[in-house]
Structure 1
Amino acid sequence: MTPAAATGSTIRPRLTLFALTWPIFIELALHVLTGTVDTFMVSHVSDAAVAALGVSNHMLGLLMTLFNVVGTGAAVVIGQLLGARDERGVHHAATVALLANAVVGLVVSAVLALQAPTFLGWMGLPPALLPDGVTFLTLVGGGLAAVAVSLTLSAILRAHGYTRDGMWVTLGVNVLNIVGNLVLVFGHFGLPALGVLGVAISTLVSRIVGMLVLFHLLHRRLGLRPRIAELRGHWRGHMANVLHIGAPSAGENLSWFAMFTLVTTFTAQLGATALAAQTYVMQAVGLMVIFSQSIGAGTEILIARQVGAGRREAAYRQLLHSLRLGVLVATALAAAMAVGGRAFVGAFSADPAVIALAASVLVWSLVLEPGRVFNLVVINALRAAGDARFPLWVGLLSTWGIAAPLAWLFGLHFGWGLVGIWWALSIDEWVRGLAMLARWRSRAWVGKALVPPPLAAQPA
């Protein structure tokens, strides 16, 4: 009897790209909304409070990458095990991933709760902002264990095709966070106005509630009850597979963020107008990228199962279908943003120079964004097939050998400004993207599956 059958859960999710992708898109959009809501609420307290919150969230964002090592790896490993019809292996891999992220999360939470002033000092937070920063980082950082576990629970459910669960839980967490902010930040129902402390409490409580709901769904949907005793003789192999996928993925993401941080220092040298324009452009890019990320995540779920089942040809065709769809959507969105760029940026800024510069960069995004799709979608497919190291090495070579030096050359040395920097980023995206597509077409990923296919597997 499968775990799902044992609990009476007979409803199976539809495993089509659209059915998997649209809930992921909404979930990702809601995650973006969470930070926006917190910032909006705190902006009514003071600009200093917003600055303290921003620095703290930057550090928390970096730590999320650490937790995603296990979450990303677990999703692929479990997907391949599901394709191979190894129910016992699925249970063991899920348990290993949950325990690993729980332990890491608890350690990180304890360190942040005890050493928040030290870390914020390293981040260069001015002394006047330290009280608010320490308050937020101590509470929210101290509760990161809940985030680490939630990421893993969501990855397990997503690998099984239950992408709507993550969407609904994230929606609930957002609603709870908004209500908590309204009550605690501004002091309603007879409670004192707590400002940043109110945001921290609301964020912490909503995340813990979200984690508990995900635990309930894990048992209800899959009948999984993690037990340490069952892992004897199994945990090393599963943990090695999880890290084989998750570690290169995290390394690739960290490398890109480090490169973009360096490029932002180039933008800063161009002046306040360029820096403001880049900020607004990245807001627009964030909205466009969510579509590509959701298509990539849905593709990863499908291909992991197909590879685990030994259906390599089906996996090969699935990527090409997803890529065509992703490029079409990204091009349409970039075209819309290129046409409406002035209106979009004008909603944030009244400075004509900022609006003009940002709008010109958004026109160039019509070239950049389709190239980004190749990376977001094809890299997810390679990862799902077990080929996780190739994207890391290509990413390191391209971001540091092409993006960073060309951004300096075009933006500063040749004096082409922010548009020149975007040219450099576009070249990097297309070089990496075409390299990923060539890797997929070469079928070098065949044979890199983490689990053996079932005996009944037939090529399709």
Structure 2
Amino acid sequence: SMFQLGKILVLSLVAGFGTASIAANAVSNTIANFQILPGMAIGLATITVVSRCVGAGDYEQVRFYTRKLLRITYLSMILINIIIDLGLPLILWIYNLTPETGMITKQLILYHSICCVTIWPFSFTLPNALRASNDVRFCMVTSIVSMWVWRIAFSFVLAQFLHLGVFGVWVAMTIDWLFRAICFVIRYRGSRWQLKSN
């Protein structure tokens, strides 16, 4: 798929930054999966809850439960990220990384945790409410365009041309999140997505 191709392109870029960056990126990706785990779980619940409300034609309930689930996502993400950040020295010790790899990993994870508790829910939980309302095409097009323009193109700009290395790749990833969040919030605040279920 396009998303897998995008991942391969980004990984090929990271591969050019040396073994420390490759190892830090791999370890950080593993830890990052735990940082977003509550959000992913609640995202699946959002599809189920919202689709039931849409089926009943009750869009007041759709908005009520979307806001409620977003609040729960934020609270759970804040909690898990605080735990991971506090336990990061122990986690890095378990991985037995070199000092350089450990330093890069710590930088990536702390940056990722900040973005997780600010941007992530609007980028990934909110669009599940739109998808549950059958606004699938908008979500898909937004995600694909955002990935190619921000995550992939900006990875090369920040990592290579601005010499930010692997950190630039992660910054580009969160710029992708931010663009998606803006698009999905604007879409949600309107009413066109409600027409898709009719």
TM-score, scaled relative to structure 1: 0.41
Alignment partner of 1:415 out of 149, 158, 163 = 163
- Of 273-282 and 323-332, deviating more is 323-332
Q: Which residue of 2 aligns with 1:332?
A: 79
Residue 448 (1) aligns with residue 196 (2): yes
Q: Which residue of 1 aligns with 2:29?
A: 282
1:370-393 CA distance string (max 9 Å, x none): 322222211211111110000111
Q: CA deviation at 1:304?
A: 0.3
Equivalent positions of 1:336-355 (< 5 A) are 336-355=83-102
Q: Which residue of 1 aligns with 2:186?
A: 438
Q: CA deviation at 1:335?
A: 3.4
Runs of 4+ residues over 2 Å off in structure 1: 254-258, 331-343
Distance 1:258 1:413, change over 3 A: same
Measured in 2, the distance between the counterparts of 1:286 and 1:364 equals 14
Q: For the Cα contact (< 8 Å) 1:334–1:365, is it kept in 2?
A: no
Cα RMSD (Å) of the superposition? 1.6
Measured in 2, the distance between the counterparts of 1:288 and 1:271 equals 25
Q: Which residue of 2 aligns with 1:322?
A: 69
Equivalent positions of 1:371-450 (< 5 A) are 371-449=119-197
- Number of equivalenced pairs: 197
Q: Which amino acid aligns with 1:393?
A: V
Q: Which amino acid aligns with 1:275?
A: I
Equivalent positions of 1:192-271 (< 5 A) are 254-271=1-18
Q: For the Cα contact (< 8 Å) 1:299–1:380, is it kept in 2?
A: yes
1:39-72 CA distance string (max 9 Å, x none): xxxxxxxxxxxxxxxxxxxxxxxxxxxxxxxxxx
Q: For the Cα contact (< 8 Å) 1:407–1:420, is it kept in 2?
A: yes
Q: For the Cα contact (< 8 Å) 1:368–1:430, is it kept in 2?
A: no
1:329-365 CA distance string (max 9 Å, x none): 2233233333432321221233221111101111101
Consecutive unaligned residues in structure 1, runs of 5 or more? 1-253, 451-460
Equivalent positions of 1:29-428 (< 5 A) are 254-370=1-117, 371-428=119-176
Distance 1:350 1:289, change over 3 A: same
Q: For the Cα contact (< 8 Å) 2:130–2:193, is it kept in 1?
A: yes
Measured in 1, the distance between the counterparts of 2:2 and 2:81 equals 25
Measured in 1, the distance between the counterparts of 2:64 and 2:22 equals 42
Q: For the Cα contact (< 8 Å) 1:259–1:399, is it kept in 2?
A: yes
Measured in 2, the distance between the counterparts of 1:331 and 1:270 equals 31
Q: Secondary structure at the match of 2:196?
A: coil
Measured in 1, the distance between the counterparts of 2:87 and 2:154 equals 28
Q: Which amino acid aligns with 1:320?
A: R
Q: Which residue of 2 aligns with 1:112?
A: none
Measured in 2, the distance between the counterparts of 1:439 and 1:358 equals 35
Q: Secondary structure at the match of 2:194?
A: coil
Measured in 2, the distance between the counterparts of 1:349 and 1:433 equals 36
Percent of residue pairs identical? 21
Distance 1:302 1:336, change over 3 A: same
1:116-164 CA distance string (max 9 Å, x none): xxxxxxxxxxxxxxxxxxxxxxxxxxxxxxxxxxxxxxxxxxxxxxxxx
Q: Secondary structure at the match of 2:163?
A: coil
Distance 1:411 1:334, change over 3 A: farther
Q: CA deviation at 1:324?
A: 1.8
Q: CA deviation at 1:299?
A: 1.2
Structure with max Cα Rg: 1
Q: CA deviation at 1:326?
A: 0.9
Measured in 1, the distance between the counterparts of 2:90 and 2:14 equals 23
Q: Secondary structure at the match of 1:319?
A: helix
Distance 1:424 1:286, change over 3 A: same
Q: Which amino acid aligns with 1:344?
A: I
Which structure's residues are more often helix, by fraction?
2
Distance 1:366 1:290, change over 3 A: closer
Distance 1:306 1:372, change over 3 A: same
